[in-house]
Each structure stands twice: as structure tokens, then as C-alpha cells.
Amino acid sequence: MEHLDTNERQLIWERIQKALINEQIDTFRAEFLEMHPYDQAKIFEEQPEDIRLIIYTYLSPEETAEVMEHVERDQVEELVAEMNPSYAANVLAEMSTDDAVDILNELDKNKVASFLTIMDKNSSDEIKALLHYEEKTAGSIMTNEFVVVQTKQTVKEAMRHLRKEAPEAETIYYIYVVDVEKRLVGVISLRDLIIAEGDWLISDVMSDRIVSVPVGEGQEDIAQMMRDYDFLALPVVDFQNHLLGIITVDDIMDVMEQEASDDYSKLAGVSDMDGRDENSFVSAKKRLPWLIILLFLGMFTASIIGRFEATLDQVAILAVFIPLIAGMAGNTGTQALAVAVRGIATGEINNSSISKILVREAGTGIITGISCGVLVTLIVYVWKGDVFLGLLVGISIMATLVVATIAGALVPIIMNHFKIDPAVASGPFITTINDIISILIYFGMATAFMHLLTS
């Protein structure tokens, strides 16, 4: 089944739309169900509500569930709300448990209670088992749809059990092994199970070298672990090593996208970048807290400049270079910040490598500072014909770039040490902090060498 581009989806949709208009249910189902669920979801998302309401009547809850698993999360609440409550409950019951939990976590608590009451008891109990876990932890993203076998089973018995459970399992590439008390003791790959002799015991063919995560582990750390180990699935256990669920690679890809979006939002000084359907008031409400904090930091920067009013009165030309120095400080600080946040997120920066990173960034700051400082000194001298003014601006640029680079790398490392998300050390904050540093350096030097500038 090939991935469809926008034009291909449009052509198929035109045929589907014609079938809908003419109430040709069989034609619609043949065209629609032939597509991959991702392409179904893309077409589905683009339709007005009245068309979607017709489509619901042509699809079973199980077929709609497969589409919903590929719909963008920010549209799910709207789609569930427009469905008949009984139909919506059946759709959620047919979805993978972890996907259903993700959707229910976005809904009003009263709606959640209603859906759980309507759906069958088995599905309701499975969903309830995952709903109480804290958001963004292993428990909140794991699924309880997996295959488990016991140590004392034979390979033949395990294969029979696998064939029975596989249709409901999210993945069968790994089969987990538990003891009589349901503690995780091993894992066996599907390949090893297939090639093993039928009368061998599972305990003889399983691997007891298991990598698992506690149920309260943060999803970002889990994503890092699965990337490092190239796992397709990862078991989740409680404090007594009982197997509670598994986390699959498709869920981790969603987590990585979400974490990247969150980090980008914080680096931009915005609490939430996902706002396609927001009105202006909601968007402003999210951005105002950051802007107000930065406003006060900006006022503090202005007050610092005010303290050097006497210096500016005597050498007014100094004001021309304030944007240059402050801008360069902000730019280099943001570059160092981006490198540090990425290093922390990928695990490249840890306690043993902090000093190495800071030395590297300091060296980078010195090289870039000297290069830019010399260049600016020559430009200012040629432009204004004042060697001392050129030296003042050049040395200020050099010192500012060194300090700003170190600050840009150090701030997120410090925040990470205190268990604060380093992405909170956002670009606007680093820029404002480095503005203050650059102004202090620039005017401090100007005041100290005032006699050379006014002579």
C-alpha cells in the first residue's frame, strides 16, 4: 500500500464524495477502506462535520477506531464530541488501550465517566487501569495489550498461546516471560521462539538480560533509552518487578514529536505552540506571562543604561553601538543555549562532561570574540576615524561574546542540575540576560576610559 500525496488523496476523495452523494455505501467502503489508515485520517480531517456524520454511519466502530488512531491529537476532542455517545464509546473500546487513554485524557472528566459506563466492562477496566497514571510517565503511555508466557511452559504451548493472543496484541516481536507471581524474569524474540524445538522449556530459550522501566519513569527518558537500545518495545514494571505493560516504538515517536514541540515552544518563550484553532484572546493569554516577565527584565536593562547617562552625555556616539553589542550578545548566547539544550536532551551532556562542554564553549567564545572584535575595531576606526572608540567597541564585543557564550551554555546546565526543564532557559531569557551583561561591560569600559574618548 503506497503513501498517497495530496493530489492522489484529492482524486480518491472526489470518487468517495460522489459515492456519498449517491448513497453508494459499497462503493464508498471499497474506495475508503482500500487506503492506508493514515491517508484515511488525512481525508477525514479535511471534511466538514456534516460529511463526517455520514461517514460514521458507513463505517463500523472498529473501522473508525483505526482512522482515529492516525488523526491529529488536537482534532480528536472535536471528532469525539460530534459522534453519537454510544458510537464514540464503541470506537474508543476498539482502539489500542494506550491510544484510547491519550484521547480520554484530553476530554472533560464527566464525558470520560460517561464513555466508560457505556462501553463493555473488559474495555472499560483496561482503560481505567491506565487512566490513573500521571501524565508523561511510562504508565500513561504504556499499553496492556501484549503477549506474556510463563517460564515452565514449553515452546509448543507458548506458540499455541501466542496464536490465540496475537490478534489483540499491539506487538508480538517480543514475548515477555513471567514467573508464577507475574514478575518479569525474561524476554524471548519471536524469531527465537519460532526456531526453538517444541518440547524445550521457555526458561531454557529466554534471555534474562532485560531492560525495563519503572511505571513512574518520565517519557523523555524512556524515549532516550529506546533510541539508545534500538528497542521496538520496552516493558514497564512496578517496584516489585511485576510486568504492568509495554511501550511500543510508535508511541515513543509520538512522544519525541511532542517533546520537540514543547522544547521549541519554551525556547521561543511560548507556553504552547499548538494553537491552530485558538482565537486571539487564548493565544494572547498564553504569551502574555512570558512577555510581562521579559518586559520587567527589559525595564531593568533600561535602568542600567540610565545609570550611565553621564557617560552618554559626554560621548553621545556610544549610543550608536548599543544595538550592535546587545544583538551580538543575544545571538551568541542563543547559539550556545541551543547546543546545550540539545546536548542535555540527547544525553551528550552529563555530570562527567559538563567541564569539557564549558571549556569548549569558552574556547568558542574566545575565538569568535577575538575575530568579531578585531573586525569591528577596524570598521569603527575607518568609519569614525577614532582609534580609541574602535578599540572600546571591539574589546566590548570580544568580552561580551566570551561571557555570553559561557552564560548560554551554563544556564541550562544549572537548571537541569536542579531538575528544571532546561528548555525553560528560553531564547528570550538568554537574550535579555546577555543584554544586561553586554551593557554593563560596554558602559563600564566606556566610563573607565572616558578620558581617552573625550581627549
What's the pLDDT tens digit per position in 3-27?
566 677 778 878 888 888 888 888 8
Q: 240-255 pLDDT, tens per residue?
A: 999 999 998 888 887 7
Task: Determine the pLDDT at residue 437.
Answer: 86
Q: Choose among 141, 121, 329: nearest CA to 217.
A: 141
| CA dihedral over 438, 443, 448, 453, signed as positive or negative | positive
Residue 259 has pLDDT above 80, yes or no: no
Percent of the chain with pLDDT over 90: 28
Are 6-137 and 148-249 equal in CATH topology?
no
Q: Tell me what pLDDT residue 145 has.
A: 87
Reply yes or no on whether the pLDDT at 260 is more than 70: no
| pLDDT of 72 strictly over 70 | yes
Confidence check: pLDDT of 278 > 60: no
Average pLDDT over residues 134-161: 91
Provide CB contacts within 8 A for 397, sequence distance 6+: 324, 325, 328, 369, 372, 373, 376
Q: Which CATH number fits domain 148-249: 1.10.3720.10, 2.40.128.30, 1.10.10.10, 3.10.580.10?
A: 3.10.580.10
Residue 325 predicted with pLDDT over 80? yes
Q: What pLDDT band is residue 147 in, cutting at 50, 70 and 90?
A: very high
Architecture of the CATH domain 6-137? Alpha Horseshoe (1.25)
Residue 23 has φ and ψ, to the nearest 5°, of 55, 40
Query: φ and ψ at 266, to 5 degrees?
Result: -70, -40
Helix (H) or strand (E) holding 289: helix 280-307
pLDDT of residue 270: 54
What proportions of the chain, in percent to the nearest 5, are helix, strand and coil?
Answer: 70, 10, 25
- Min mean pLDDT across 16-25, 116-125, 326-335, 446-455 is at 446-455
pLDDT computed for residue 322 by the predictor: 86
Confidence of residue 323 (pLDDT cuts 50, 70, 90): confident
Q: What is the band of 320 on the pLDDT scale with cuts at 50, 70, 90?
A: confident
Percent of the chain with pLDDT over 70: 89
pLDDT of residue 5: 65
Q: pLDDT at position 1, please? A: 47
Q: Is the pLDDT of residue 187 over 60?
A: yes
Task: State the Rg of the chain over Cα.
Answer: 30
Residue ranges covered by each domain of the chain: 6-137, 148-249, 280-453
pLDDT digits (tens, 9 = 90+) for 352-374: 778 888 899 999 999 999 999 99
Decide which of 197 and 265 is more confident. Answer: 197
The pLDDT value given to residue 160: 94
- The one-character DSSP state at 171 is -
pLDDT tens digits, one per residue of 159-180: 999 999 988 888 888 999 999 8
Topology of the domain covering 280-453: Tetracycline Repressor; domain 2 (1.10.357)
pLDDT tens figures, 405-450: 998 888 888 887 877 766 655 556 777 788 888 888 888 888 888 7
Question: What is the chain's mean pLDDT, rounded?
Answer: 84
Q: Which three cell numbers stand for residue 406?
A: 559561557
Under a CB-based contact definition with an 8 Å cutoff, are residues 273 and 290 in contact? no
pLDDT above 60 (res 332): yes
Report DSSP letters for 214-260, one per residue. Answer: ETT-BHHHHHHHHHHHT-SEEEEE-TT-BEEEEEEHHHHHHHHHHHH
Whether the per-residue pLDDT at 110 is higher than 80: the answer is yes
pLDDT score of 204 more than 80: yes
As given in the structure block, the three cell numbers for residue 297 are: 527584565
Predicted local distance difference test score (pLDDT) of residue 86: 92
Report d(CA 277, CA 156) in Å as an integer.
54
Residue 393 scores a pLDDT above 60:
yes
Q: Work out the average pLDDT over 56-63.
A: 92
Q: Is the distance from CB of 370 to CB of 397 less than 8 angstroms?
A: no
**Which ranges of 35-108 does DSSP label H, i.e. alpha helix?**
37-45, 49-58, 61-68, 73-82, 85-94, 97-104
